[in-house]
Amino acid sequence: MNNFVFYNPTKLVFGRNTVEKIGEYLKKDKIKKVLLLAGGGSIKKNGVYEKVVRSLFEHSIEKVEVWGVRPNPVLSKVKEAIEIARKEKVDAILAVGGGSVIDSAKAVAAGTKYEGNVWDFYIGKIKVKEAIPLYTILTLSATGTEMNGNSVVTNEDTLEKYSFSSIHVYPKISIVDPEIQFTLPANQTVNGAVDAISHVMEYYFDGTSNTQLADRIDESIVKTLVETTEKLLKDPHDYEARANFALSTTLALNGISGLGHSGGDWSSHAIEHALSALNPDVAHGAGLAVVFPAWLTYVKDLISDKLAKFGVEVFGIEDGINALKEWYKKIGAPVNLRELGFEKNDIEKLTDIASKMAPMGRLKKLEREDIKKILEIAF
């Protein structure tokens, strides 16, 4: 186990009827005007928007709205929101949505305080030094972004999907009400499960030794996601299953799952980003369902004991890779690039995009040829 410092400044407000508390928390923090950032409009259909607006009104908090954040969020929408945030002189960003909305909101919070191009944060030109406060209401449990400082955005002009991380963009308050996720389509629950499981596996398989406690935490998170996903596919309104699912996705990437590890591998995520950069219709979770087992297959000789342990503890059999792929098939997740609509000749383009980040990975440093072989396995 490595030395570590664990610090998470986000206050998590979890459970039924918590969305209505947003105005109370904002007022307590002396916020007078927010930029409300949202996606395509589902929050108006499920009643969340009405609850938020009422709470803001009751606590005398002004708002300006920016809509249209899409899955696999894009840089142009972030820049649009930054301009509005500056023009309207908002005190905070209020993200109401899933991971794409919250990731975008982090970029807006930091970009509003930065005179340069917000893309500079993503390409590593400059680190975030300050940001206006961010508050979130999560409507789709998957990425864990509600309790970390990570943001992923696609530059649609260059087909680059990059990330940055900063303590300055951790949400101050994150509200997670499992009930508002009752109406999610089954595929979104499935993609959320795969995404969260992949976050755990990035740490679990990064090659760090003697991490018994973290391993058991990680195995428990994955087992809980397996059990609750199956329950939710049968009954989306099962509150206890939904609540345990939601909390598992948060814990998968709020720092707990990686305690004592070497920071995670993250090459599977980097390769997946190429998929959704080339085809924005590919959901992040769906892409990871294809890429991660392929990466595990490529590096299996380096983690054979850990793979067997994972398989036994989570699925009851030693063949962890096959067990994972079979479970993905069972819940309706894709397991190869063909199911995502890619053709054999796309592998070269995907390799080119992903290789911009090479060398990548912690367990095994991947160069261009390694990335291509993993994509060939995934096909």
pLDDT digits (tens, 9 = 90+) for 235-287: 999 999 999 999 999 999 999 999 999 999 999 999 999 999 899 899 999 99
Q: CB neighbours (10 Å) of residue 218?
A: 28
pLDDT on residue 164 = 97
Smallest CA-to-CA distance from 350 within 373, 366, 367, 372 is with 372
Is the separation of the CB atoms in 138 and 174 below 8 Å? yes
Tell me which of 3.20.20.100, 1.10.3720.10, 1.10.579.10, 1.20.1090.10 is the CATH number of domain 184-378.
1.20.1090.10
Task: State the chain's mean pLDDT as an integer.
Answer: 97
Nearest in space to 139 (alpha carbons), one of 193, 185, 96: 96
Domain layout of the chain by residue ranges: 11-179, 184-378
For the stretch 19-65, pLDDT in tens is 999 999 999 999 999 999 999 989 999 999 999 999 999 999 999 99
Query: DSSP state, 344?
Result: T
Categorize the per-residue pLDDT at 379 as very low, low, confident or very high, splitting at 50, 70 and 90: very high
Q: What's the whole-model pTM score?
A: 0.96
- CA distances from residue 22 to 18, 56, 164, 263, 321 in whole angstroms, order as listed: 8, 7, 27, 33, 42
Handedness of CA 122, 89, 173, 280 (dihedral sign): negative
Predicted local distance difference test score (pLDDT) of residue 32: 98
Q: What is the pLDDT of residues 60-98, one digit of tens each?
A: 999 999 999 999 899 999 999 999 999 999 999 999 999
In single-letter form, the type of residue at position 19 comes to V
Average pLDDT value for residue range 184-188: 96
| Contact present, 246 and 98 (Cβ < 8 Å) | no
What is the rounded (10 degree) CA torsion for 292, 68, 50, 228?
A: -10
What pairing do the DSSP bridges indicate for beta strands 33-37 and 62-66? Answer: parallel
- Mean pLDDT score, 349-366: 96
Q: Cα–Cα distances in Å, from 243 out to 81, 169, 193, 215, 255?
A: 31, 25, 13, 22, 19
Give mean pLDDT, residues 166-185.
97
Residue 93 is predicted with a pLDDT of 98
Q: Are 246 and 188 in contact (CB under 8 A)?
A: no
| Average pLDDT value for residue range 217-242 | 98
CA pseudo-torsion sign 278, 325, 232, 174: negative
Say if residues 307 and 95 touch (Cβ distance below 8 Å). Answer: no
Buried b (16+ CB within 10 A) or exposed e, 253-274: bbbbbbbbbbebbbbbbbbbbb
Tell me which of 72 and 152 has the higher pLDDT.
152
Instruction: Give the model's pLDDT for residue 321.
Output: 97
pLDDT for position 330: 98
Strands annotated E in 32-159? 33-37, 62-66, 92-97, 134-138, 150-155
CATH class held by domain 11-179: alpha beta
197, 141 contact by CB (below 8 A): no
pLDDT at residue 332 in the model: 97
Position 189 confidence tier, pLDDT thresholds 50, 70, 90: very high
User: Distance between CA atoms of 6 and 116, rounded to whole angstroms?
Assistant: 31
